[in-house]
Structure 1
Amino acid sequence: MIDAALIQQCADPGLKPAIVEQFIERAGSQDPLAVTVRSGNRVVLVPRPSTPAEAMALIGQHVGRNVVRVGITQYPAGLGVVEAGELKADLVDACVNLRMGTALFAKVYRIVAKWYGNPTEKEVLPQVFDDAIIGWQTGYFEGTAVFRAEDPTELNLIDRRPANETEMVESGGDKAISAGAAYARDAATVDPNKAGIRIDLYGIGAGRQ
C-alpha cells in the first residue's frame, strides 16, 4: 500500500486520501520506477529499471512510438512531449509523479462526471469513479481524449474535506462533510500540472481511511 505520508505531502489536495489509495490500487503501481509500454492492445515486455536513469532511458526509447506509462500513478509519459529529449527525470520521482498523476486524474473525473450530468447521489458516484479509472487507463471516455480535452472547470465541485473528518453537518436532509474552504484555481489546459476545480468524492471513499 502506498505510504500515507506520501499521499498527504504530494497528492492533489482535492482528492481524499482514500480515493488516492483506490486510484493507485486500481490503475497505478507501488514501484516509482515502474514503466509500462503498450503497442496497441499488446504489452511490450521491457526490462525492469533499477535506477531512475535506467527508467528514463527506457522511457526515451519508446515514447512517441508506443504508449508509455510511468511511476506510481502510471502517468502518460508522452503527454505534451514532442521529442524524447523533452522528458524530465522527475517523471519517476514518487512525489512529483503522484502530484501530477492525481491532478490529471482529477481532471479525467471531472470530464466523466460532466457526461453523467454531475451526479451527487452516492449510488452513482462509484460508477463515475469506475469510468474515470477506465478513462485513465485507456486515455478515452465516450470518444473524448481525456488527457488533452479541455477541463470542464465550470463544474462547481469542491473538496469538502475538513481537518477533522468526523465533523458532519446536515444540509437539505443530506449529510455532507463540513467545508473548511472551497478550493479553486484557474482553468487547466492540457498541462496536467495545472489543477482545476477540486472534486468531492466523499461518496466513494467514505469509511475507508
Structure 2
Amino acid sequence: MLDAVLIQQCSDPTLKPAIVEQFIAKAGSQDPLAITVRSGNRVVLVPKPTTPEEALALIRNNLGRNTVRVGVTQYPAGLGIVEAGQLKPEMVELCENIRMGTALFAKVFRIVMKWYGNPTAKDVLPQVIDDAVIAWQTGYFEGMAVFRADDPGQVKITRPATTDSDESENGAHPNDDSAAAIPATETVASDPNKAEIRIDLSGIGARP
C-alpha cells in the first residue's frame, strides 16, 4: 500500500485519499516502473524494466502499436501523444504518475457520478467507484470514451450524507449524454489511448 503522506502530497485534491487508495488498489500497481502492454484483449509479455530509462524505452517501442499503461496508477501512456518523442519522462516518476493518474481518474469519476445523478448517499459510493475503475481499465463507460469526453465539472464526492432524503436518490440513474467527445484528428475505436487529444490535467469505457 502506498504511503498516506505520498498520496496526500501527490494525488488530485478533488479526490478523497480513501478513494485514491481504492483506485490504485483495484486498478494500479505497487511498482512505479510497472508497464502493462496489451494488444486488443491480449496481454503482451514484455521484459520487466528495472530503471526509468528502460521503462521509457519499453513504452516508446510499443506506443502506436499496442495499449500501454504505466506506473502505480497504470496511466494510459498514449493519451494525447501522436509520436513517441512526445512522451513525458515524468510519467514513470512516482509522484508525477500519481498526480497525472489521479487527475484523469477524477474526471472519469465525475463522469460516472453524473450518470448516477451525483448521489450523496454513502452506500452508493462503492458502486460508483467500481464502475469508475472499470471505466478506467477499459476506457469506456456506457458507450462513452471517458478519456476523450468533456469533464462534467467539479462535484462534491467526498462528503456523503446519510439523511433519508439523500437515501431516496439511490435509485436515480439518469443517463446523461451531455459529455461529448473532444474532436480528435485520429480516432482508434478499439484503443482510446491512441487518440490525438489534449488533456487538462488541472481539472483532473462501454462496459462489457
TM-score range, shorter chain: 0.7 to 0.9
1:157 and 2:156 correspond: yes
| Amino-acid identity (%) | 69
The 1:132–1:142 alpha-carbon spacing in structure 2 relative to 1, beyond 3 Å, is: same
- Which residue does 1:184 correspond to in 2? none
What is the one-letter code of the residue matched to 1:85? G
- Which residue does 1:128 correspond to in 2? 128
Aligned partners of 2:52 and 2:78: how far apart in 1?
17
What is the one-letter code of the residue matched to 2:202? K
Aligned partners of 2:164 and 2:123: how far apart in 1?
18
- Aligned 8 A contact 2:118 2:155 in 1: no
Partner of 1:101, secondary structure, is: helix
Please state how far the C-alpha of 1:107 moved relative to its aligned partner: 0.4
Any gaps of 5 or more consecutive residues in structure 1?
162-168, 175-188, 197-209
For each residue in 1:17-57, what CA deviation from the matched residue of structure 2 results, as whole angstroms up to 9, or x when unmatched?
A: 22111111100001110000000100000000000000000
The 1:132–1:36 alpha-carbon spacing in structure 2 relative to 1, beyond 3 Å, is: same
Q: State how many pairs are aligned.
A: 174
The 1:132–1:158 alpha-carbon spacing in structure 2 relative to 1, beyond 3 Å, is: closer
What is the one-letter code of the residue matched to 1:87? L
Q: Which moved more, 1:114-123 or 1:42-51?
A: 114-123
The 1:170–1:130 alpha-carbon spacing in structure 2 relative to 1, beyond 3 Å, is: closer
Aligned partners of 1:192 and 1:50: how far apart in 2?
30
1:116 and 2:124 correspond: no
Alignment of 1:30-179 (within 5 A): 30-153=30-153, 156-157=155-156, 159=158
The 1:170–1:30 alpha-carbon spacing in structure 2 relative to 1, beyond 3 Å, is: closer
Please state how far the C-alpha of 1:8 moved relative to its aligned partner: 1.4
Aligned partners of 2:137 and 2:81: how far apart in 1?
19
For each residue in 1:123-152, what CA deviation from the matched residue of structure 2 results, as whole angstroms up to 9, or x when unmatched?
A: 222111110000000000011110110000
For each residue in 1:106-135, what CA deviation from the matched residue of structure 2 results, as whole angstroms up to 9, or x when unmatched?
A: 100111111111111122221111100000
**Aligned with residue 195 of structure 1, among 167, 181, 203:** 203
Please state how far the C-alpha of 1:157 moved relative to its aligned partner: 2.5
Partner of 2:131, secondary structure, is: helix
Any gaps of 5 or more consecutive residues in structure 2?
167-181, 183-197
Runs of 4+ in 1 over 3 A off after TM superposition: 158-161, 169-174
**TM-score scaled by structure 2?**
0.77
Aligned partners of 2:73 and 2:51: how far apart in 1?
18
Aligned partners of 1:58 and 1:120: how far apart in 2?
42
What is the one-letter code of the residue matched to 1:103? A
